[in-house]
Amino acid sequence: MALPNIYTHKNLKFFMAVPLVLLVIGLYFSTHIVLDSSLSGGVTITLQSNTTMSPQAISSTIVGRLHVPTPTVSVSSGSVTVTIAANQSLSNAYDYLLQFYSNQSSYNLYLANATNAKIQLQQTPSNNTYMAALATANAGLNSSLANMNKAVSNELGQLSPFITKPSYNANEPASMAAVAQSSYSNASLIYQQNVISQLRSIVPFIGTPSYQQITVQQSKTFLSSLFQIIIVSFILVSIVVFFIFRSIIPSIAVIFGAANDIIIALGAMGVLGIPLGIASIGGLLMLIGYSIDTDVLTSIRILKRHEGTPEERAFSSMKTGLTMTGAAIASFAVLFVVSLIAYVPTYYEISGVVLFGLIGDLATTWLGNASMVLLYVKGKNKGVS
């Protein structure tokens, strides 16, 4: 039974409503996305173990022992990888440590200004300019010293679950700096030893485990850089697409298709609880490439080929595209189910993102992108005639 050509329908604008509705739904549920430790901070421990425990059992036991949010656990042949969210006390202490360093930098700058003003006043006593500069520098020194003391005090308060509060001279920046740095390092080491000790009681392992910590600040920097890369990528893609078609509407259609697929995938991540992290970002990048490829090829076939009518060319592209996308959906669906059953977080995140993004791509490409390009061709032909 031959499929009817949907593009002969008079009201193609109605088709475009479907991807727009999916866009709104995706935007709503994307607000429920959580960040994994690679983007929110945390620690990843890799153990050499041949445990027979399931990842779910290990995860639930860790929650009970360490009182942390549900960690990510993957078990492979001979090793167990556990990712735990950042300890809030350590994260707060690190923030105060950075505040201390910032105020220490200001203190050193004011100190240099005060020294320079004093030297100048020795040469030209009672110079109003240098006297004002010295007064400003001294006020800055006092303010910076007070802020440094406050930052160290707050840091030590956050580290109290791990270490005993050490003494220091609040009037000596060097003394405060030594205490601020050593206290954080010691508390981090104690926390690391506690985590590894608890894991040893849960999952027997051999050798020295790999312990990698990512601070919240590092994660924020990475996330900011990631957004910048994605924005620049879309700008570059837009330039290339415009160069290919030399027209605004087809270019917008292609960019809309890629952006809509990403938003639909983000919405699915919010619904399924797939965290935004290294693995899911990889899936999103794969999805961008797939979406751009199908949208560009479809638009080229409609605009630059001449066999048959534009509606026939669009329908022919759809039949080919549905076959290709259907095969990809089937492959990622199998990977999604297997990773869900076997509890392999990396494959689960990648396959989940790509799978639901491809399902959304069916509506975006063949109801949205193709309809938009066909309406553009009809309007262009009507203007020519």
Cα 221 to Cα 349: distance, rounded to the nearest angstrom: 22
CB atoms within 10 A of CB 249: 16
For residue 89, the model assigns a pLDDT of 92
Read off the pLDDT of residues 241-287 as tens digits, 9 standing for 90 and up: 888 878 888 888 888 888 999 999 999 999 988 888 878 888 888 88
Read off the pLDDT of residues 331-359 as tens digits, 9 standing for 90 and up: 999 999 988 887 677 888 899 999 999 99
Q: Which domains does the chain have, with CATH numbers?
A: 6-37+217-384 (1.20.1640.10), 42-214 (no CATH)
For residue 2, the model assigns a pLDDT of 65
CB atoms within 10 A of CB 153: 15
Q: What pTM value is reported for the model?
A: 0.71
Q: What is the distance, to the nearest Å, from the Cα of residue 22 to the centroid of all Cα atoms in its chain?
A: 22
Residues 104/177, Cβ–Cβ less than 8 Å: yes
Residues 270/278, Cβ–Cβ less than 8 Å: no
For residue 264, the model assigns a pLDDT of 94
Residues in the chain predicted with pLDDT less than 50, given as ranges, are: 385
For residue 385, the model assigns a pLDDT of 47
Cα 51 to Cα 28: distance, rounded to the nearest angstrom: 41
For residue 102, the model assigns a pLDDT of 95
